[in-house]
Amino acid sequence: MTGNFDISRLYAAIARTNIAGDGTLQAGTQENKKRSQDIFYIGAKPALLALAVAMASACSTTAVHDHASPNLPTENPGELAPMVAAPQPAPVTLNPQHALPVQSQPAQPLQCEPQAPAALAWTRSGHEDLWARVRAGFQLNHDSNQARVQAQLNWFATHQSYVDRIVNRASLYLYYVVEELERNNIPTELALLPIVESAYDPFAYSHGQASGIWQFIPNTGKMYGLKQNWWYDGRRDIRESTRAAIQYLSELNRRYKGDWELATAAYNAGQGNVDRAIRRNRKQGKPTDFWSLQLPKETRAYVPRLLAVAKIVSNPDAYNVHLNPVPNEPYFHPVAIGGQLDLKEAARLASISVEDMYRLNPGFNRSATDPKGPFELLLPARRADEFSLKLEQLAQAGRTSWDHYSVKSGDNLGAIAMRHGSSVNAIKQANQLGSTTIRPGQRLMIPRSTSAAPHFAAVAPQRVANHHSTAPGNAKAGRHRIEHEVQAGDSMWKIAQRYQVSVKDLARWNSLSPRDAIHPGMQLALWTDQPPTSPEPSGALLPEQVRKVGYTVRSGDSLARIASRFNVKLNDILKWNPLDRPEYLRPGQSLTLYIDVTKVNQGLL
């Protein structure tokens, strides 16, 4: 298998390596990293250098094109911490137009036969905790006494619960990000950038339409090779978005001659903003380092926040912050699926929950993978072999295939079902339709596998019961209705305990007996004392797919235009925002929207 390889990375790895008296390899000190390449020619280093030269001689030059995009601030209330800039006020929203990068000459790394350079094994050795490996790859200067950095440190020191949530979420993806940064000879401080961007949340979404852990906006995502369509959004794909981010950060680093502070500032504000600030300072005879530039307020807090996170990771005890350990081993493993696959079926084959399937594969917008690829799924490493064996045993007839159909004038569900070899009930269930009413331009998922019918048939009675459960007699005063999809391992008792209701009530609300069996995929209606945190019409597969977004009305906006842009209903906007005169919107007016990030690009083909 051919992979990218840069001989300078191997040299750097050798320089970071000490050889103990017993011949074992150990991580080098910061002092070692700063030594010249003469270090390779003393002691035991010549042997390692010979290995590097031998590997280099087998390589051939191949051009690699950059495909990346800058990001915008993410709005994820309660999870993405506010930028704390001292003495600046709260961040401002950047114009997405300013974020378009300027293409430069692509890098030309070398191609080598080995799947991974030996340097990676050396870097991994001796680090059971991934945080130790992250620290070993730090290269940026953390010794800034800037008040802006101190303000960020103070914030983290008083928000331990926020740190815990980020670490828990990042533990799924951090190993892969660190591995890719090392492979591309990029400082591992950049593995902390998604903390600043998105709190390591793949479903993070901003009013500027930035999405994913690296926060790409749609236009630049497409410009740099991140596939986006009705089925799939590469901006949320962990591996694809990481590839794109690394390529763009590398390009920025070259543009600013190795200055990572300027490079990360440009990743946030866009190259245009940083370049203009540099030109302005040059004309005034001022320094052109990051700290001397007049940049957007968001960006003036962005780089200090990254440095503050790096300082905390370097020495958490010094800032009274606890970092839960993260194993220094892959959390997920890619598995080929050979074609389109229903994600619920995939979760069943892997013996994991549907939620976990989507958290590892957040790029998929629908309940099935894209029929045109990618044809791989990320699965917990411990489940990958089991999944592959079960997938091989799954008959082709058992693999649900899906058509993507746009409703035309004169269509009805019966005709569509007959044309695609499906059924009206199956189409209604796949698209969460409460009736057979459809409209021209509406997009539908059409299941074509005969094996899909039993699945939908099993779920259908529960959905009928759920509709009946909305009758006034089933709800207690002051309670709110929610739906729960039964997962593997669920029981009536467990679900009742989770939502603090009685098994008897749970059964009655769903026209079941307390002793009835339930199975994965069933939809159960519940009435709880807790108000819904997101709008019920979303139909999102995971709660975190629905995000509360603050939108500022622009000149020429209308409610219909805003609803169309974010793929929400006009009536829902009116429900979320008590507007005195909804026909009159004024520029600068603030609106609250609840957006299903998997459907916001539904209009893309």
Domains and CATH numbers, the chain: 7-319 (no CATH), 332-400 (no CATH), 402-447 (3.10.350.10), 450-532 (3.10.350), 538-596 (3.10.350.10)
Q: In this model, does residue 140 exceed pLDDT 50?
A: yes
Q: In this model, does residue 220 exceed pLDDT 90?
A: no
Continuous segment of H or E residues that includes residue 111? strand 110-112
Q: In this model, does residue 20 exceed pLDDT 50?
A: no
Provide mean pLDDT across the span 312-341: 95
Active-site entry in 197, 261, 298, 485: 197
pLDDT of residue 71: 37
What is d(CA 432, CA 477) in angstroms, rounded to the nearest whole number?
A: 27
What is d(CA 65, CA 464) in angstroms, rounded to the nearest whole number?
A: 52
Q: In this model, does residue 139 exceed pLDDT 90?
A: yes
Q: In this model, does residue 33 exceed pLDDT 80?
A: no
pLDDT of residue 393: 85
**Does 374 or 101 have the greater pLDDT score?**
374
pLDDT of residue 83: 64
pLDDT of residue 101: 39
What is d(CA 374, CA 158) in angstroms, rounded to the nearest whole number?
A: 42
pLDDT of residue 80: 60
What is d(CA 482, CA 524) in angstroms, rounded to the nearest whole number?
A: 8
CB contact at 8 A, 186 and 249: yes
Provide mean pLDDT across the span 506-517: 75
Average of per-residue pLDDT values in the chain: 74
What is d(CA 535, CA 404) in angstroms, rounded to the nearest whole number?
A: 25
pLDDT of residue 11: 40
Which candidate, 470, 491, 581, 472, places its Cα nearest to that of 536? 470
Of 200-204, 324-328, 485-489, 497-501, least confident by mean pLDDT is 485-489
**Does 24 or 393 have the greater pLDDT score?**
393
* Percent of the chain with pLDDT strictly greater than 70: 68
Neighbour-count burial of 368, counting CB atoms closer than 10 A to its CB (0-12 exposed, 13-18 middle, 19+ buried): buried
What is d(CA 328, CA 130) in angstroms, rounded to the nearest whole number?
A: 4
Q: In this model, does residue 489 exceed pLDDT 80?
A: no
Highest mean pLDDT among 57-71, 268-282, 578-592: 268-282
pTM of the model: 0.62
Q: In this model, does residue 74 exceed pLDDT 60?
A: no
CB contact at 8 A, 29 and 35: no
Confidence label for 223 from pLDDT (cuts 50, 70 and 90): confident
User: Length of the chain in residues, anyone?
Assistant: 605
**Does 226 or 399 have the greater pLDDT score?**
226
Continuous segment of H or E residues that includes residue 482? strand 480-485
**Does 524 or 453 have the greater pLDDT score?**
524
What is d(CA 281, CA 289) in angstroms, rounded to the nearest whole number?
A: 10
Confidence label for 23 from pLDDT (cuts 50, 70 and 90): very low
pLDDT of residue 41: 33
Angle, alpha carbons 558-559-561 (nearest 5°): 65
pLDDT of residue 461: 39
Is 378 strand, coil or helix? strand
Q: 163-194: buried (b, 16+ CB within 10 Å) or exposed (e) per residue?
A: bebbbebbbbbbbbbbbbbbbbbbbbbbbbbb
Provide mean pLDDT across the span 57-84: 41
Token pair 């200067």 is at which residue? 141
pLDDT of residue 575: 84
Would you say the C-alpha torsion 43, 44, 50, 53 has a positive or negative sign? negative
Count Cβ atoms below 10 Å from residue 324 Cβ, excluding itself.
11
What is d(CA 66, CA 104) in angstroms, rounded to the nearest whole number?
A: 9
pLDDT of residue 228: 94
What is d(CA 263, CA 249) in angstroms, rounded to the nearest whole number?
A: 7
Residues in contact with 581: Cβ distance below 8 Å, sequence separation at least 6, in sequence order: none
Count Cβ atoms below 10 Å from residue 208 Cβ, excluding itself.
22
Count Cβ atoms below 10 Å from residue 323 Cβ, excluding itself.
16
Q: In this model, does residue 447 exceed pLDDT 80?
A: no
Count Cβ atoms below 10 Å from residue 399 Cβ, excluding itself.
20
What is d(CA 278, CA 292) in angstroms, rounded to the nearest whole number?
A: 9
CB contact at 8 A, 232 and 365: yes
Provide mean pLDDT across the span 98-109: 37
Token pair 């008296």 is at which residue? 21
pLDDT single digits (tens) 278-310: 999 999 999 999 999 999 999 999 999 999 999
* Percent of the chain with pLDDT strictly greater than 90: 38
Q: In this model, does residue 521 exceed pLDDT 80?
A: no
Of 93-107, 484-498, 532-546, least confident by mean pLDDT is 93-107
pLDDT of residue 396: 62
Token pair recorded at residue 410: 């004169």
**Is residue 345 among the annotated active site residues?**
no
Provide mean pLDDT across the span 473-500: 69
Q: In this structure, are strands 443-447 and 402-406 parallel, antiparallel, or unpaired?
A: antiparallel
What is d(CA 86, CA 146) in angstroms, rounded to the nearest whole number?
A: 9
What is d(CA 328, CA 128) in angstroms, rounded to the nearest whole number?
A: 5
pLDDT of residue 475: 44
Beta bridge partners of 110: 5, 61
Beta bridge partners of 80: none
